[in-house]
Structure 1
Amino acid sequence: MDSVALSERRKAADTPVASAATTARAGAEAETRDDILLDDAGDRVEQHLPPVDGGIAAWRLLWAAFMFEACLWGFPLSYGVFQQYYSTIPEFAGNRYIGVVGTIASGLGYLGAPVVMPLIQRKQQWLRPMIWIGWPVCILSLVAGSFATTLEVLILTQGVAYGLGFLIFYYPILHMVSEYWVARRGMAYGILCGASGISGTVMPFIVQALLARYGYATTLRAVAVALVVLTGPMIPFLKGRLPVAQHQGPAPKADWRFLRSELFWMYSVSNVLQGFGYFFPALYLPSYASALGLGERSGAVLLAVMSVAQVCGQFAFGYLSDRKISTNVLASTAVAVAAVACLTMWQLARSLALLVCFAVAYGFFGAGYTAMWARMSSNVCKSNGDSASLVFGLLNFGKGLGNVFAGPIGGNLVARGGSQFGGGALEYRWVVVFTGVCMLASAGTIAAKYLKNIMVVVKAQ
């Protein structure tokens, strides 16, 4: 999962998902403006709460969340460098499923969203314990992975365990941020988005240098120690603004009527198709550059450039979506341009300059699509906030399917390309084609709605 992964979830803060999260504690958010809460007897009592949208506590929490995102998300962002390295050492060379490690590590964060998001809204008291559970799981997974001598063990440690740890601690942190930042929430999540952009430009170079000099075992241990040093001191600052309500009413029943919505299924199919193709460039660009003989650092350069482009794409398409431009037009345009970039620039690239151009175009427009998730959820459920949260969670799940399966699918595509075209860059031909076709199919799913409407009008005349 790349830098857009976090922005996708952050965009939920602009949907009814986050407004539900900010009111889930202590009865209702409306009470907090007067610092009035209800005690056990139902009497109104005064309680001083930290201010929203500013103040020491709010900025302290945002800084802690920034560090967690930059460090603990920056590591999965650089898995393409790991994959290039793993494919060259005797322990893992020749195994077509090396990519599964990275896709599972990031994909579980998507797949688990429909479970974790409702859970933290109902079990407010679990927020900090979940952080204390998930964070060490991530750290220990890297230490355990450093002892791996088979790909299966590496998948279970650096892949599954890291992904589960991230899933457990990350959503509680987002929930806390949404409590402190209300009117200025867009700015707060923009800062977090910048964290993934910064880490995405720096982490690949650090990982590449460590792998080249010390090997994967020492690199994984060094990264684990660095994560402890950089993020451990931030944990005391990860606290929600609102006190946990001692008595919570029964959770509202889920409203699944949106499943009958044609719009929901259009977005879902488009999202799954985009997800199946989206992750391949970040996964294979370093190996592709290496096959072209462009130098050891070329892969890190491409990942860094793509990371910056993704952040810019998120901001640009998010801004445009707030300007009442059609969500369907923006989403279909984004994936269509990404598809063209794959089938032209990546397909024809034999130089670092053209690969950089591809990384910019693909990163910008590919990330632009995922910035539409919050707006898609709102379009499907215009008047039902609880349903919008379900839609957003299911969009996460659909993207996660593509993320997780990208590893085995990509491995088989590379193997097929190698058997047909031999070694070198040509063995990635089917990966390039598959990515472009998935993007085109995603755009076509949305465009088909307009074609259907046009046909109805034509027949009516």
Structure 2
Amino acid sequence: MSTTVTTTRTSFELQNWSEAGGITNPTSSARQEKTIANWEQEAHSSQQLDAVDGGFPAWRVLIGGFVFEALLWGFPVSFGVFQDYYSTLPQFAGSKNNIALIGAIAQGSCYLGAPFSAALTKRFPRYQRQIIWLAWPLCIGGLVAASYANTIGGLIATQGIMYGVGFITLTYPIISMINEYWIARKGMAFGLISAASGASGAVMPFIIQALLARYGYKTTLRAIAVAMAVLTGPLLPVFKGRLPPPEHSQAAKTNWSFVHKPLFYVYGLSTLLYGLGFFFPLLHLPSYATSLGLSATQGALLLSIMSIAQVLGQFFFGYLSDRNISVGVLCSICMIVSTIVVFSAWGAAKALPLLVIFTIVYGFFASAFSTMRVAMGKAVSDDLSSVVATYSVFVFLQGIGNILAGPLSAVLLAHTVTKSEYGIERYKNMIIFTGACMFGSAAVIAIWWCRPSIVRKLVSALPRG
């Protein structure tokens, strides 16, 4: 049942929201209060609005978004299982080097396409639901079409491009709706969404592996398409925005003034460095385990454990970002702990127990950094309309690391395995690079704390549009 949200209630929420991002400037808080109060009062004075930060409509959209993220994003994240299977098929023997492109394009388009999907969502707020309804069958259709592909090129076009474009197109209308319903508890809400892929990642690879082994890729893709349609299709009607679309076209424009703020570049560079190192353990932990003589099942189990740790870490740090804790402090904790565990536990691991410890700690803290995107956005902009824009930019920057992980792996991996050496020799350079990226991510924030004048000088030298 809809309830009227008063200006007093909204002002209180926004004050807490500013504090959650580490912003204590009363002028900034007052400006946010005035912005949303005027917006809602002027545009929707004759309408009742659903309550924020709770209530059935808010939870309905959040849970729907969680299921979509868990299933539709969990599928491309689990592509490693398909990659292993495709590489064993005789008909793909001549295109083995291109198999990885399928997953890289599906995942990469979801990262690098984020700003474009966010811009489309912002430009046409009146058609957000229609965008979701049009993009959803593109995802499902991509899987069905892939089941009829007999070449790697066909799989790239369907399982890669078609699926990836469909997913990223529907993602940001959903994110925009969640953003409208969750204000003071926004960090918790987006932490839950970020944790969704971890929840599915704990079980989906095992299901896909079993289906591929028994039925082959064509039947598996069709079965997954049917399952996706059955599990997500009934949820399409739950996606409704809290605020009616703006009456004036200029209200739909994004305020990009945050690009002139030094703190935006601090968090942007920190996110870029984080992304450059983050994906290596996810990609190479199973092969590291098999190099130690562990079974393929134990390698898959490590990824499953990491996914569970990711869920806990992202939800916990998302919750903390709603409290009166600086986002810079939270990001630094994530990166410092990740640096330590990469250099110590991963590099020194020679048996399963230490690998499990690394998997749990890295999954909990390193994955949690990505939930800070919303808090970063709140810290760099007072304008509520910029939250989705800043979020998409930080996703894009992290995605650069996802795209470069494959080429960098070829450079960093050695050809020999020596179990007595650090990182069993083969993974030594990769471990050092990963730890250095985590450390660099924390160091950028530390420089801002210690010598902000350096960052301000660099930003002031940038050309302004």
Question: Which of the five TM-score ranges fits, normalised by the shorter chain?
Answer: 0.7 to 0.9
Residues 260 and 240 of structure 1: CA distance in aligned 2, closer, same or farther (over 3 Å): closer
Superposed, which structure 2 residues align to 1:197-346 within 5 Å?
197-244=198-245, 247-251=247-251, 255-346=255-346
Query: Are positions 1:417 and 2:414 aligned together?
Result: yes
* TM-fit CA distance, 1:165: 0.9
* TM-fit CA distance, 1:305: 1.2
Which position in structure 1 is the counterpart of 2:72?
A: 72
- Deviation track 1:150-180 (CA, whole Å, cap 9, x = no partner) reads 4444333322222211111111122233444
Amino acid at match of 2:344: T
- Deviation track 1:118-141 (CA, whole Å, cap 9, x = no partner) reads 332331222122112221111122
Which position in structure 2 is the counterpart of 1:395?
A: 394
**Paired residues of 1:81 and 1:300 also in contact (CA < 8 A):** no
Which position in structure 1 is the counterpart of 2:40?
A: 29
**Paired residues of 1:211 and 1:219 also in contact (CA < 8 A):** yes
Residues 425 and 151 of structure 1: CA distance in aligned 2, closer, same or farther (over 3 Å): farther
| TM-score, scaled to structure 2 | 0.77
Residues 287 and 160 of structure 1: CA distance in aligned 2, closer, same or farther (over 3 Å): farther
How far apart are the structure 2 equivalents of 1:225 and 1:319? 35
Amino acid at match of 2:141: L
How far apart are the structure 2 equivalents of 1:327 and 1:417? 37
Residues 384 and 188 of structure 1: CA distance in aligned 2, closer, same or farther (over 3 Å): closer
Amino acid at match of 1:413: V
**Paired residues of 2:143 and 2:225 also in contact (CA < 8 A):** yes
How far apart are the structure 2 equivalents of 1:192 and 1:256? 25
Amino acid at match of 1:448: I
Which position in structure 1 is the counterpart of 2:177?
A: 176
**Paired residues of 1:105 and 1:160 also in contact (CA < 8 A):** yes
How far apart are the structure 1 equivalents of 2:237 and 2:297? 37
Aligned-residue identity in percent = 47
Superposed, which structure 2 residues align to 1:85-104 within 5 Å?
85-90=85-90, 91=92, 95-96=96-97, 98-104=99-105
How far apart are the structure 1 equivalents of 2:184 and 2:375? 18
Residues 93 and 269 of structure 1: CA distance in aligned 2, closer, same or farther (over 3 Å): farther
**Paired residues of 2:291 and 2:417 also in contact (CA < 8 A):** no
How far apart are the structure 1 equivalents of 2:35 and 2:113? 21
Residues 56 and 393 of structure 1: CA distance in aligned 2, closer, same or farther (over 3 Å): closer
Residues 279 and 111 of structure 1: CA distance in aligned 2, closer, same or farther (over 3 Å): same
Query: Are positions 1:434 and 2:433 aligned together?
Result: yes
Residues 432 and 184 of structure 1: CA distance in aligned 2, closer, same or farther (over 3 Å): closer
Residues 348 and 96 of structure 1: CA distance in aligned 2, closer, same or farther (over 3 Å): farther
Structure 1: tracts of 5 or more residues without a match: 1-10, 17-22, 38-46, 456-461
RMSD between aligned alpha carbons? Answer: 3.8
Residues 206 and 405 of structure 1: CA distance in aligned 2, closer, same or farther (over 3 Å): same
How far apart are the structure 1 equivalents of 2:387 and 2:191? 22
**Paired residues of 1:53 and 1:183 also in contact (CA < 8 A):** yes
Amino acid at match of 1:174: I
* TM-fit CA distance, 1:359: 1.2
Amino acid at match of 1:360: I
Query: Are positions 1:112 and 2:124 aligned together?
Result: no
**Paired residues of 2:102 and 2:156 also in contact (CA < 8 A):** yes
What SS is found at the alignment partner of 1:250? helix
Which position in structure 2 is the counterpart of 1:459?
A: none
What SS is found at the alignment partner of 1:417? coil
| TM-score, scaled to structure 1 | 0.78
* TM-fit CA distance, 1:49: 5.9
Whose relative contact order is higher, 1 or 2, with alpha carbons under 8 Å and at least 6 apart?
1
What SS is found at the alignment partner of 1:336? helix
How far apart are the structure 1 equivalents of 2:89 and 2:354? 29
- Deviation track 1:63-90 (CA, whole Å, cap 9, x = no partner) reads 4333222211221232233334444444
How far apart are the structure 2 equivalents of 1:251 and 1:243? 12
Which position in structure 2 is the counterpart of 1:131?
A: 132
How far apart are the structure 2 equivalents of 1:320 and 1:243? 30
What SS is found at the alignment partner of 1:372? helix
Q: Which moved more, 1:85-94 or 1:341-350?
A: 85-94
Structure 2: tracts of 5 or more residues without a match: 1-16, 24-33, 455-465
How far apart are the structure 1 equivalents of 2:312 and 2:180? 26
What SS is found at the alignment partner of 1:239? coil
Query: Are positions 1:82 and 2:93 aligned together?
Result: no
Amino acid at match of 1:265: Y
How far apart are the structure 1 equivalents of 2:383 and 2:81? 43
**Paired residues of 1:84 and 1:286 also in contact (CA < 8 A):** no
Amino acid at match of 1:116: S
* TM-fit CA distance, 1:187: 5.6
What SS is found at the alignment partner of 1:68? helix
Q: Which moved more, 1:48-57 or 1:389-398?
A: 48-57
Number of residues of Structure 1 aligned to a counterpart in Structure 2: 422
Amino acid at match of 1:77: V
Residues 443 and 243 of structure 1: CA distance in aligned 2, closer, same or farther (over 3 Å): closer
**Paired residues of 2:138 and 2:162 also in contact (CA < 8 A):** yes
- Deviation track 1:7-53 (CA, whole Å, cap 9, x = no partner) reads xxxx99x889xxxxxx999x943469xx743xxxxxxxxx5665555
**Paired residues of 2:187 and 2:321 also in contact (CA < 8 A):** no
Which position in structure 2 is the counterpart of 1:40?
A: none
* TM-fit CA distance, 1:56: 5.1
Residues 421 and 88 of structure 1: CA distance in aligned 2, closer, same or farther (over 3 Å): farther
Q: Which moved more, 1:211-220 or 1:132-141?
A: 211-220
**Paired residues of 1:108 and 1:404 also in contact (CA < 8 A):** no
- Deviation track 1:398-432 (CA, whole Å, cap 9, x = no partner) reads 1121122223333x237x523x5599975444433
How far apart are the structure 2 equivalents of 1:201 and 1:150? 30
**Paired residues of 2:64 and 2:235 also in contact (CA < 8 A):** yes
